[in-house]
């Protein structure tokens, strides 16, 4: 059985994945584009060792932050694991929908070194990338979908990919105001946990990479360290960019994948777990 737990940042995916892995004796595969990198821990809310409860976790911390680890790389790595553990229950968990789709669907990538996940980019950043690719690009800056398609045009087939694996995709959601409150509180906790020092270690060592320039929580602190914004502006931008990213995650999951959505009961998370388990077992019956 293959399960996938998706949803916006901060909604509770990791907690649910652990509980389902314990129940179904499953392994967990990461499908978050930034959690593949070593040492991007606090800002990506990477699962802590004590939280794993002895459950095997794969595709976390597999690439140095200086590497441009692409969805093409991820597809190759995850397919090896799917073949190796074909007789085990497998749970994908993460917020990068394109990585999950590349794992489960028949995507063919032609230019492995040029492909990159653009979900963290603002419209302005996408537009600038398009102008680098073609200074005559006439796509409007607010047409996000066309900008991404333009950047990816030569990297994968335009044909609609077919599903290769039977998977149950569970989405966690909550009211928008509640989600935004959770995100804001989460950023505050990351700061208390030492996010600034985590990013400072890269900055002081003059490490510049695509991951650090796009990962939320890292790119903003780089601006702060470079005296481009104040500390208060830095924290506000992390919160704002995290909220915007959550909106983009919803858009992708709702339009690109067959997700069954569950509203999270944060007062009684066990109720949410029970509802998900009931759905899974009825689905498999």
Kindly report, residue by residue over 80-129, the tens digit of the pLDDT. 999 999 999 999 999 999 899 999 998 776 554 455 667 778 888 888 88
Kindly report, residue by residue over 265-285, the tens digit of the pLDDT. 999 999 999 999 999 998 865
Kindly report, residue by residue over 16-27, the tens digit of the pLDDT. 999 999 999 999
Kindly report, residue by residue over 42-70, the tens digit of the pLDDT. 999 999 999 999 999 999 999 999 998 98
CATH architecture of the domain 2-115+155-284 equals 3-Layer(aba) Sandwich (3.40)
Domain definitions of the chain by residue range: 2-115+155-284, 116-154
3-class secondary-structure state, position 259: strand
- pTM here? 0.82
**DSSP string covering 42-104, please?**
TTTTPPPGGGSTT--EESSS-B-TTS---HHHHHHHHHHHHHHTTTSEEEEE-S-HHHHHHHH
pLDDT at 199 over 80: yes
**DSSP string covering 116-133, please?**
---TT--HHHHHHHHHHH
SS (H, E, C) 150-179: HHHCCCECCCCCCECCCEEEEEEECCHHHH
Report the range out of 111-115, 141-145, 247-251 with the highest average pLDDT: 247-251
């Amino acid at each position: 059985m293959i399960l996938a737990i998706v949803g916006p940042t901060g909604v509770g995916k990791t907690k649910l994945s652990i509980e389902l892995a314990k129940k179904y004796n499953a392994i967990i595969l990461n499908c978050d584009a930034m959690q593949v990198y070593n040492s991007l821990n606090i800002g990506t809310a990477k699962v802590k060792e004590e939280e794993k409860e002895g459950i095997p976790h794969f595709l976390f911390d597999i690439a140095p932050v200086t590497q441009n680890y692409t969805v093409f790389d991820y597809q190759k790595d995850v397919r090896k694991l799917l073949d190796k553990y074909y007789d085990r229950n497998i749970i994908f968990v993460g917020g990068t929908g394109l990585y999950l789709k590349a794992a489960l669907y028949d995507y063919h990538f032609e230019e492995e070194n040029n492909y990159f996940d653009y979900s963290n980019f603002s419209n302005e950043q996408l537009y600038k990338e398009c102008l680098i690719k073609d200074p005559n690009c006439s796509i409007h800056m607010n047409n996000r979908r066309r900008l991404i398609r333009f950047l990816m045009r030569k990297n994968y087939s335009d044909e609609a990919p077919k599903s290769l694996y039977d998977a149950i995709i569970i989405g966690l959601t909550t009211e928008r105001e509640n989600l935004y409150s959770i995100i804001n509180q989460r950023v505050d906790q990351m700061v208390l946990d030492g996010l600034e020092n985590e990013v400072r270690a890269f900055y002081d060592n003059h490490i510049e990479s695509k991951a650090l320039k796009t990962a939320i929580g890292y790119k903003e602190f780089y601006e702060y360290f470079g005296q481009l914004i104040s500390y208060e502006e830095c924290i506000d931008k992390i919160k704002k960019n995290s909220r915007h990213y959550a909106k983009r995650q919803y858009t992708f999951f709702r339009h690109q994948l067959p997700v069954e959505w569950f509203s999270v009961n944060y007062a009684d998370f066990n109720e949410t777990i029970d509802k998900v388990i009931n759905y899974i077992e009825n689905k498999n019956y």
